[in-house]
């Protein structure tokens, strides 16, 4: 596996996604924040600052997830439909290098997107004189990036063997279930139905536990997990990404063009 070829594919993917003017979605994020700044004070007296802090980080996560899923699911299919994959694959670019490069390219776009939204978010917090802990927010955003990199891997896995529409639906399903996986585990403990108990346990085992990467509340109240827990969550996400990309490569390797 050649690092240079992987980075070349990543650079090409990064530039292609940016050419689609994906960063324009930052305007939607800014609009959400401005509306929140206008509407929250009258309806949440005394708690508007904490709610606005949470709104901003949640909006960063949601906007990033939308981009990761919609772009990620079409990342490979788009290359196939445009026939550009027929040019790349016969060259000394293996399918594994192609998949890894595409993942890194879109992850880089997500990094730029999150960085831009975070800068606007912090500027608005300063203008509104809302107190915040910079370190906690940056750590929370870093773990959002990690979550979205995992979500890109999920989207790519679905995208290599099904249509973009189905892959998008499945990916959103994983995103929602991933944040409810701990509730599923609790449901399996309290239910008396053996079928439901088995299904919930299987789903918990298969679906990534995205709540492990959710530090939004910790950023708002400046109560982050210990360094050990953060490191454990980091390793969990990286191993899951490697696992999903391995599956994606295996499926993609069997496709005929």
What's the token pair of residue 202?
């299987």
What's the token pair of residue 93?
């670019």
pLDDT in tens, 142-173: 999 999 999 999 999 998 888 888 999 999 99
Give the per-residue pLDDT at 241: 95
Give the per-residue pLDDT at 48: 62
> How many domains, in total, are found in the chain?
1
Residue numbers in the chain where pLDDT is lower than 70 = 40-48, 80-91, 184-193, 195-197, 256-257
Distance between CA atoms of residues 126 and 108, nearest Å: 27
Give the per-residue pLDDT at 156: 92
Q: Provide the domain limits for residue 187.
A: 3-253
64 close to 26: Cβ distance less than 8 angstroms: no
Place of tokens 């994959």: 85
CA 204 to chain CA mean position, Å? 19
Distance between CA atoms of residues 100 and 9, nearest Å: 8
Distance between CA atoms of residues 160 and 146, nearest Å: 22
Distance between CA atoms of residues 100 and 105, nearest Å: 9
Q: Give the H or E element holding residue 36.
A: helix 26-43
Give the per-residue pLDDT at 209: 87
Give residues with Cβ within 8 angstroms of 240, minimum separation 6.
150, 153, 208
């Amino acid at each position: 596996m050649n690092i240079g070829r992987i980075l070349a594919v990543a650079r090409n993917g990064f530039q292609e996604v940016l050419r689609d003017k994906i960063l324009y979605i930052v305007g939607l994020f800014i609009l959400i924040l401005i509306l929140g700044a206008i509407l929250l004070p009258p309806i949440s007296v005394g708690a508007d600052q904490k709610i606005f802090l949470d709104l901003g980080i949640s909006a960063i996560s949601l906007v990033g997830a939308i981009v990761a899923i919609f772009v990620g699911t079409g990342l490979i299919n788009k290359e196939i439909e445009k026939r550009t994959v027929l040019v790349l694959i016969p060259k000394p670019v293996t399918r594994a290098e192609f998949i890894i490069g595409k993942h890194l390219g879109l992850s880089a776009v997500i990094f730029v997107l999150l960085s831009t939204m975070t800068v606007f978010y912090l500027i608005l917090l300063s203008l509104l004189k809302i107190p915040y802990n910079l370190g906690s927010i940056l750590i929370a955003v870093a773990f959002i990036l990690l979550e979205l990199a995992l979500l890109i891997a999920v989207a790519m896995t679905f995208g290599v063997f099904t249509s973009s529409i189905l892959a998008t639906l499945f990916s959103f399903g994983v995103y929602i279930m991933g944040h409810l996986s701990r509730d599923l585990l609790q449901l399996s403990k309290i239910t008396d139905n053996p079928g439901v108990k088995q299904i919930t346990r299987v789903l918990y085992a298969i679906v990534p536990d995205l709540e492990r990467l959710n530090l939004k509340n910790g950023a708002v109240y400046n109560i982050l997990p210990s360094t050990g827990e953060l490191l454990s969550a980091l390793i969990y996400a990286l191993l899951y990404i490697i696992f999903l990309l391995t599956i994606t490569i295996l499926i993609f390797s069997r496709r005929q063009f």
